[in-house]
Amino acid sequence: MMLSKRLIVCLDVRDKKVTKGIKFKGNIDIGDPVELAKQYYDDGVDELVFYDITASAEGRPIDIEMVEDVAQNIFIPFSVGGGIRSVEDMRRALLAGAEKISVNSLAVKNPEIIREGAKAFGRQCVVLGMDAKKVSVSYAIPSGYEIVIQGGRKPMGIDALAWAKQAEELGAGEICLNSIDADGTKQGYELNLTRMISEAVSIPVIASGGGGTCDHVVDVLGKGKADAALIASMVHYGDYTCSGIKEYVSSKGIKMRQIV
């Protein structure tokens, strides 16, 4: 008996539609978030993430109605992010039916939000989303991965490894680690980055960015030491199913939940 590794589908939502872009640029519409959430739930996905990707840029809170609509239809863990500006915003999203709240750029600007969120709702509710980009190793960035925000456009001069450790200390219950370089490329996850962060913290790490084939998922859960793999385009374009991916990954000796 052992804990299964998780397969998580990410729904990036813009104008009430699930969208997918390459390196956060040039998005195309995939479909209705509620319908897709139901479809992936029925297909055995372990968890869903909903990002309101334009909320921050538009200076508005997360689309609470949409969170509610999704939450009413799926009975698996469900995290939300985008447009979270305060503990009060977190509370609203939790009351709408989410159970984890992902904070990213907000936490970079105000790390205390992690501590406040963990204190108010428990650390299992607070997911640190981090976007990391490969850079030259320097005094400021000893790990060679820098934290970026605004879809990778704005480097923050913060070392990704140090940030992950700090977030854990502040009370984050989980880290969703996105490689800006790999994101949307379908060329595979950033294994070095993932393994480095996952081995450095004692909280679970979700690998994000670059998943394009079942073997990529096997690699990041195996060699990359991730606790969960986030996918989007693999299933959004209909190339793969969640159940198919999980069956394949299991056949390679990595335990995943099978719907029996």
Using CA atoms in the order 33, 41, 69, 10, what is the torsion angle rounded to 10 degrees? -40
Q: Assess 260 for contact with other proteins (CB under 8 A).
A: yes
- Phi-psi domain of 151 (left: phi exceeds 0; alpha: psi -120 through 50; beta: other): left
For the chain, the helix, strand and coil percentages under 3-state DSSP, each to the nearest 5:
35, 30, 40
Residue closer to other proteins by CB (options 14, 123) is: 123
Q: Assess 124 for contact with other proteins (CB under 8 A).
A: yes
Cα separation, 33 vs 35, in Å, equals: 6
Nearest to 177 by CA among 150, 208, 135: 208
Candidates 94, 147, 180, 196; binder of other proteins (CB under 8 A) is 94
Residue 12 among the catalytic residues: yes
| Nearest distance, CB of residue 57 and other proteins, angstroms | 28
In the DSSP assignment, the letter for residue 60 is -
Q: How many residues bind other proteins (CB under 8 A)?
A: 38
> In this structure, which amino acid lies at residue 27?
N
Q: Assess 139 for contact with other proteins (CB under 8 A).
A: no
Cα separation, 152 vs 78, in Å, equals: 25
From the list 52, 63, 131, 159, the catalytic residue is: 131
Q: Assess 222 for contact with other proteins (CB under 8 A).
A: no
Residue closer to other proteins by CB (options 51, 121) is: 121
Q: Assess 136 for contact with other proteins (CB under 8 A).
A: no
Q: Assess 227 for contact with other proteins (CB under 8 A).
A: yes
Contacting residues toward other proteins, per CB under 8 A: 1-6, 41, 44, 46, 71-72, 75-78, 94-99, 121-125, 173-174, 199, 202-204, 227-228, 257-260
